[in-house]
Each structure stands twice: as C-alpha cells, then as structure tokens.
Amino acid sequence: MNMELQQSEFEHIRQKIYNYCGINLHEGKQALVRARVMKRIRTLGLSGFSQYLKYLEKDKSGREFLSLVDVLTTNKTSFFRESQHFDFLRNEVMPEMKGRSVKWWSAGCSTGQEPVSCAIALLEQKIYKKNVKILGTDLSRDVISIARQAVYPEKTLGGISETLRKKYFQPVEGDRYVVDKDVREMITYGRLNLQKPWPIDGPFHVIMCRNVMIYFNRETQQQLVSRFQDMLEPGGYLFLGHSESVAGANSGFQNICPAVYRKV
C-alpha cells in the first residue's frame, strides 16, 4: 500500500475542490489533505492515492466526490464563539428587532452551534420565535446531518452557562444533550455551496459568515461579500470572523465594530 501523496495528486485534488466550491488548498495544506483523504482510502479498501483518484473519476454518481468534500472541509465551531459578537447582537441588533419579523442566515453553520446560540440569545431577549426565521447552511452533508439532530456531547457545552444549559438543553443517553424544541423550531438547515446559485429568499437582517472566507482567495472573497450585500436588507448586518474583512472595493458596507459590517 502506497500512502505517499504525490505533488501531481495533490494538485489534482486541490483543483477539483477549488473548481467546485472555491476553497483554496494551498501548499501548506498538503499534510492535511493527505491525512484526511487517507480516511476515504481506508474506508473504501483501496491501495493508495493513485487508485483513489481513479475510483473518484469512475464514480459517475458523484457520491464519492461529495464524501471527499466532507472530509476536506474544516468544521471547527463552538457555542457563543467570539463572544464580542454576541454582546453586540444583544446590545445593538436585537433591540431593533422588537415587534417585527426578520430572517437570519448562518452561512457555514457547521454542526449548528452558531444558529443555536443565536436562537437562544434571541429568546433570552424576549424576541418571539414566531418573528424570527434562522437559516443554517453548510457545504458538508455530515455536519448538516448533525445540526439537524441537535444532540451534542456534554463536553461541547463549555460556552454555555449552567442557567442556559438547564433552560435550553435536555440530557439524553450517553452524556449528551438535545436542544430544546423552542430553539430547534426557529432554525431550518440545508446544504449549500456558496460558490453556486443560492436557492434562498431574502432579504436577511443578519448574515453570519464567520471563519469561512479564510479558505477562499481574495477574488472569491470579494464576490461572496458582494452577493451577501445583495441578500441583506438596507441597514442589515454582516458578521465575519475576526481575521476576515470586507475589502475596500465593497463600499456598500460600513464597518461599525471589529468584523461587523452594516449595509449602507
């Protein structure tokens, strides 16, 4: 069994992923690609990367390519991640929402912690669940499946106070917790490739796309921000990760605090 990833094989995988979803697997990602693709090779009982790429090309159903996408996409997340954003939401955004219906979008929601955190924050601010629709989307089928189940190991609840845990999470078998029904009913999940057409309806009051654009090149980032701008209502908010920013060419946004932009 040959488990060495040749440069040509890495380039082949890299190009396929970039063409499909815009993720830029640069040279420094070679070890990561090797480790993650090996999982698929072992699962399929293949002899190495060369045989895997042949298998990938022969699979006309496209199922194996989607499995490749699943293993190569990074899905690090946590509840109430980047707490300054949630402070801003509570203090500035949510007071504007009292008495009106709004849509939120968590783009790159991973296993659901971000939309669940948003739903809990809204309920805590006495914003009725019937007035808010939260959409959670991600490229990975695996993480969307987990998000829909809304069951999380106890060790992942570290960012949640004991009060909120008792209020919004119910213990189930195996040191796991299921999210309360009121929270679950506020969120709709779906698989979405940000580089393809978006079969969704706006406008949104809030779009959160945090720690996603770091995987794209500058051109793709600018295109994505422009599309988000089109999907926001006037005065709507775009939240990015703290290492991300709206490029100067996107003058339709005002930077109002770190990694938070408001549509002009």
pLDDT digits (tens, 9 = 90+) for 135-191: 999 999 999 999 999 999 999 998 899 999 999 999 998 899 999 999 999 999 999
Q: What is the mean pLDDT of residues 229-234?
A: 96
Residue of 14, 40, 138, 210 with catalytic role? 138
Domain ranges of the chain: 7-72, 83-263
pLDDT for 98: 82
Statement: residue 248 has pLDDT above 70: no
Is 201 among the residues known to form the active site?
A: no
The pLDDT of residue 218 is 85
Amino acid, res. 150: A
Q: Is the pLDDT of residue 1 over 60?
A: no
Spatial separation of the C-alpha atoms in residues 73 and 215, rounded to whole Å: 9
Of 34, 36, 81, 165, catalytic: 36
**CATH topology match: 7-72 vs 83-263:** no
Evaluate if residue 209 carries a pLDDT over 90: yes
pLDDT of residue 2: 60
Q: What's the pLDDT tens digit per position in 12-25?
A: 999 999 999 888 88
In this prediction, residues 218-226 reach a mean pLDDT of 89
Res. 26: pLDDT tops 90: no
- pLDDT reported for residue 174: 87
Question: How confident is the model at residue 238, as a pLDDT?
Answer: 97
pLDDT band with cut points at 50, 70 and 90 for residue 92: very high
- Yes or no: is domain 7-72 CATH 3.90.79.10? no
Mean per-residue pLDDT over the chain, rounded: 91
Would residue 262 show up in a list of annotated catalytic residues for this protein? no
Give the CATH H-level superfamily of domain 83-263: Vaccinia Virus protein VP39 (3.40.50.150)
Burial of residue 152 (number of CB atoms within 10 Å: 0-12, 13-18, 19+): buried
Angle formed by the axes of helices 7-21 and 63-72, nearest 10°: 100
Is pLDDT above 60 for 264?
Answer: yes
pLDDT exceeding 70 applies to what percent of the chain? 97
> Does residue 74 have a pLDDT over 80?
no
